[in-house]
Amino acid sequence: MSGVRAAAIYARISSDTEGKALGVTRQLEDCRRLAAQAGWTVAQEYVDNDLSAYSGKRRPAYQQMLADLADGLRDAVICYHVDRLTRRPVELEQFVATVDTAGVRKVRFVSGDMDLGTGDGLLIGRIMAAVAANESAAKSRRMRRKWEQNAAQGIPHGGSTRPFGYETDRKTIRPDEAEVIRQLVARYLGGESLRSLCTWLSEQRVATVTGREWRSPTLRGLLRSGRIAGLREHRGEVVGPAQWDAIITPADRDRILARMAERALSGRRTPRRYVLSGLLRCGRCGGKLFASPRENSRRYVCLTGPDHGGCGRLTVVAEPLEQLLVEAVLRRLDGPELADLRAGRRGDAAVDVLSDGLAGDQAQLDDLAAMFGKQEISAREWRAAREPIERRMRDRQRQLAALTRTDALAGLPGNGGQLRAQWDEFSLSRQAAIVSAVLDHAVIAPAKSARSLDPTRVQAVWRA
């Protein structure tokens, strides 16, 4: 009798590109054969498919096996090879300590006849684990170099999931999804929020490439990616043009990044409920008015306290004020000075200039980093040269963010009457973007009653 009543079989493969688990299946077959030859009863098979033993990432099945060994539930272990068990010397020592504490003396390998319970066997196991770790490190270095070379050449990075907007070759544009991306970009630049766009995608029954519903983080990643603009990214940074066609222009991507940066600075996280939020000023103290809902009404209020800093002596009912200022915005959009903005004919040249300038600034920073890496310049010279470039980049990004506001007006109907007819069809975030593209702010003068609105109390300050 072998004396083994509850053996554990462990199988692992680090890469399963086809997703068929054929590698671990072959390992399991060989391990079962060895168990039968030894007369061991197999209690459980622990399998980690498509998981590396070198990266240090958690392997659920392996961790469960260690726990079962420590609890005395398993009295032997069979694995195909020691490098299937681990490719990290420190992890081998942890495994040996676990089986030693648990009193497990029988650990067998299909390939590589050794006994980790003896001094010589443990020495051989340590040598093999060190060799496996060195092989993995060398492979990782080669792969990183290959990825860097592919990125520099604009070659797409592989993966089991195709990118939205492209076919499985990661180069050919998928027309229906590309059109969805263009609509998303236009609507986001027009002022709609990521949340409302996710709702629209759900209503249109447009799913992600994995068949799931869109969420704001996933959509944010798609819109800000260099891929859809025909740019190759590596480790989160654009390294050059890609070897596939763009769905949007790099300038549009810069607009998207500028708007995302502006929204991050504004700190807005909750869904918008007031179309004039951030646009109203108190006529008494000059402080900003804040949305302040009551049970049966919506109001804008000058609030006191350290977080607000107002006088606390002015309140105005929201609905009539919003109607008044929205109507004023629509009338102003009828003016000839805003016709070009509605048609999307202003700002494109300026955006292109700013976008090209940002690209040039980034290239300069990259050149400086390369010179510093080659020790051609000192750290002091590197900092002195970097600071004016970064200041220039921040200035250009601010200008780009200001120009991006006018995207809310691009493609709107040609007159206020048509826009009025469509106004209720726009999301609240789009309505607010249109208003803020035309109105810089409005000053609300004091009144005796907060329940009525005298139009003479409202002084609009228009954007140039």
**Cα–Cα dist 92/98, whole Å:** 10
Q: What is the mean pLDDT of residues 368-389?
A: 83
Report yes or no on 157 lying in a domain.
no
- 180-193 pLDDT, tens digit per residue, is 999 999 888 877 78
- 122-147 pLDDT, tens digit per residue, is 666 666 666 666 665 666 566 666 65
**Are 396 and 328 members of one domain?**
yes
Report yes or no on 166 lying in a domain.
no
**Are 299 and 383 members of one domain?**
yes
**Are 244 and 285 members of one domain?**
no
Q: State the pTM of this model.
A: 0.48
Strands 107-109 and 76-79: parallel
Contact 104, 76 (CB under 8 A): yes
Q: How many CA atoms, within 13 angstroms, populate the side-chain half-sphere of residue 290?
A: 13
Token pair belonging to 51 = 């998981």
**Are 317 and 421 members of one domain?**
yes
Tell me which residue range forms the domain holding 418.
280-462
Report yes or no on 336 lying in a domain.
yes
DSSP annotation of 48 reads E
- Hey, how many other C-beta atoms are within 10 angstroms of the C-beta on 435? 21
Q: State which amino acid sits at residue 464.
A: A
Token pair belonging to 372 = 């510093």
Token pair belonging to 122 = 């443990």
With a CB cutoff of 8 Å and minimum separation 6, the contacts of 429 are 191, 192, 193, 196, 272
**Are 351 and 431 members of one domain?**
yes
Q: What is the mean pLDDT of residues 317-335?
A: 86
pLDDT band at 443 (very low <50, low <70, confident <90, very high): very high
Token pair belonging to 395 = 């200035």
Token pair belonging to 139 = 């492979």
pLDDT band at 1 (very low <50, low <70, confident <90, very high): very low
Question: Residue 350's closest CA among 258, 442, 278?
Answer: 258
Q: Flag whether pLDDT at 438 surpasses 90.
A: no
Contact 49, 13 (CB under 8 A): yes
**Cα–Cα dist 413/343, whole Å:** 9
Q: Which of 208, 227, 248 is the last residue of a domain?
A: 248
Q: What is the mean pLDDT of residues 317-321?
A: 90
Contact 290, 300 (CB under 8 A): yes
**Cα–Cα dist 16/50, whole Å:** 5
Mark 42-58 as b/e (b = at least 16 C-beta within 10 Å). bbbbbbbbebbbbeeee
Question: Residue 347's closest CA among 265, 461, 463?
Answer: 463
**Cα–Cα dist 192/37, whole Å:** 67
DSSP annotation of 299 reads E
Give the pLDDT of residue 207. 92
**Are 97 and 244 members of one domain?**
no
Q: State which amino acid sits at residue 164.
A: F
Q: For the chain, what's the residue count?
A: 464
Report yes or no on 228 lying in a domain.
yes
Q: What is the mean pLDDT of residues 432-453?
A: 81
**Are 313 and 183 members of one domain?**
no
Contact 170, 233 (CB under 8 A): no
Q: State which amino acid sits at residue 448.
A: K
- How many angstroms separate the Cα of 196 from the Cα of each of 111, 174, 215, 247, 270? 57, 24, 10, 22, 12
Tokens 């996710």 correspond to what residue?
198
Report yes or no on 273 lying in a domain.
no
Q: Which of 87, 120, 139 is the last residue of a domain?
A: 139
Q: Which of 93, 120, 139 is the last residue of a domain?
A: 139
**Are 84 and 202 members of one domain?**
no
CATH number at residue 113: 3.40.50.1390
**Are 242 and 287 members of one domain?**
no
Contact 403, 346 (CB under 8 A): no
- 75-114 pLDDT, tens digit per residue, is 999 998 888 887 777 788 888 888 888 888 888 888 866 6
**Are 413 and 298 members of one domain?**
yes
State how many domains the chain has.
Answer: 3
Give the pLDDT of residue 431. 84
With a CB cutoff of 8 Å and minimum separation 6, the contacts of 147 are 157, 234
- 267-316 pLDDT, tens digit per residue, is 555 556 788 988 999 999 999 998 887 777 788 999 887 677 889 889 88
Phi, psi of 37 (to 5 degrees): -65, -40
pLDDT band at 18 (very low <50, low <70, confident <90, very high): very low
Q: Flag whether pLDDT at 117 surpasses 60.
A: no
Question: Residue 74's closest CA among 64, 60, 89?
Answer: 64
Q: What is the mean pLDDT of residues 371-382?
A: 82
Tokens 């961790």 correspond to what residue?
63
Tokens 């909750």 correspond to what residue?
270
Report yes or no on 119 lying in a domain.
yes
Question: Residue 251's closest CA among 433, 400, 363, 392?
Answer: 400
DSSP annotation of 113 reads -
Report yes or no on 100 lying in a domain.
yes
Euclidean distance between the first and final Cα of the chain, in Å? 93
pLDDT band at 178 (very low <50, low <70, confident <90, very high): very high
**Cα–Cα dist 399/178, whole Å:** 29
Report yes or no on 144 lying in a domain.
no
**Are 180 and 90 members of one domain?**
no
**Are 329 and 372 members of one domain?**
yes
Question: Residue 409's closest CA among 343, 323, 362, 358?
Answer: 343
